Amino acid sequence: MAQAMVRLGVFLVILLMLVAAEAATSHPKPKKVKCQDKKFYKCYHKDLYCPASCPRTCVVDCKKCKPVCKAPPPPPPPPPLPPPARRRHPPPPPKYYHRSPPPPPKAYPSPPPPPSVVPTPPPSTTTPLPPPISTPSSPPPPASTPSPPPPTTSTPPSSYPPPPPSSETSGEKRKCKNKNYPHCYGLEHTCPSACPEQCEVDCVTCSPVCNCNRPGAVCQDPRFIGGDGITFYFHGKKDQDFCIVSDSNLHINAHFIGKRNQNMKRDFTGCSL
């Protein structure tokens, strides 16, 4: 009887072992899984176990912090960042060029009107009157009456002597050639009697003069050509003096000393006080 009980106990133990082995093979041990995404700090590295439907092949849904058999769809990609706006540089400020105002125009006194030249009238020639005819007294009656002489009349000269030529008509002709004096530019003048063959025209007074090298006179030469702020250029004859400034207490003369170099066509001056 005792042996039968031992055999029965051994049989039950073997049966339980078989049942346990079958249960172990049919229901495997659930797998332990963890969330590996550090963004979900509450679920990060938390021990979770796979459900019975997929005890060995589950994954962790970190958002829900649960093990699931099917992996959740990946989150949509973030929208692309807009391209950085191109920084537009402001346009550079406009450049302003400071120009010095032009010098005021020189005020020239209006020249006096040219003296009116009245030609001298030719000398008037008077025709001499014929002398009266002299009648001789009648002789006494006994004497014979002589025949009267023929009357004598003085005939006037057939031609008159020409008047002497005036100095104004015999002089040379000169003109003002400076366009800065429109009131006198191009007007023709006759050289005065003091220098009928050689004279110049003073464009300021608009009259012919024998010597134009005097204060305030503007003739053909010397004349101002231009300057660069340091050097001033005049045109004239070499080795000649001319006046630049004339005042009550200041008088500046200049002297033409020739050309600067062979390539220049204008003379320059040296000034002396």
Give the pLDDT confidence score for residue 185 in this predicted structure: 93
Per-residue pLDDT reduced to its tens digit, 68-89:
988 877 778 888 888 887 777 7
Q: Of 11, 38, 71, which residue is a domain's last?
A: 71
Taking residues 208-224, report their average pLDDT: 69
**Residue 213 placed within a domain:** yes
Give the pLDDT confidence score for residue 183 in this predicted structure: 92
Per-residue pLDDT reduced to its tens digit, 95-135:
776 677 777 777 776 767 766 655 565 555 444 455 545 44
**Residue 117 placed within a domain:** no
Q: Are residues 228 and 270 in the same domain?
A: yes
Report whether 56 contacts 28 (CB < 8 A).
yes
Taking residues 13-34, report their average pLDDT: 79
Q: Which residue has the tokens 């007007």?
A: 187
Q: Are residues 211 and 225 in the same domain?
A: no
Q: How confident is the model at residue 140 (pLDDT cuts 50, 70, 90)?
A: very low
Distance CA 2, CA 188 (A): 175
Q: How confident is the model at residue 189 (pLDDT cuts 50, 70, 90)?
A: very high
Give the pLDDT confidence score for residue 156 in this predicted structure: 45
**Residue 201 placed within a domain:** yes
Q: Which residue has the tokens 């006046």?
A: 243
**Residue 79 placed within a domain:** no
Domain count, the chain: 3
Q: Are residues 31 and 65 in the same domain?
A: yes
**Domain around 210:** 177-220
Among 51-55, 96-100, 197-201, 216-220, whose mean pLDDT is lowest?
216-220
Q: Are residues 216 and 244 in the same domain?
A: no
Q: Are residues 215 and 194 in the same domain?
A: yes
Q: Tokens standing for 185?
A: 């530019």
**Residue 84 placed within a domain:** no
**Residue 192 placed within a domain:** yes
**Residue 235 placed within a domain:** yes
Residue 143: partners with Cβ closer than 8 Å, 6 or more residues away: none
Give the pLDDT confidence score for residue 17 in this predicted structure: 87
Q: Are residues 231 and 264 in the same domain?
A: yes
Supply the DSSP symbol for 227: E
Q: Are residues 209 and 253 in the same domain?
A: no
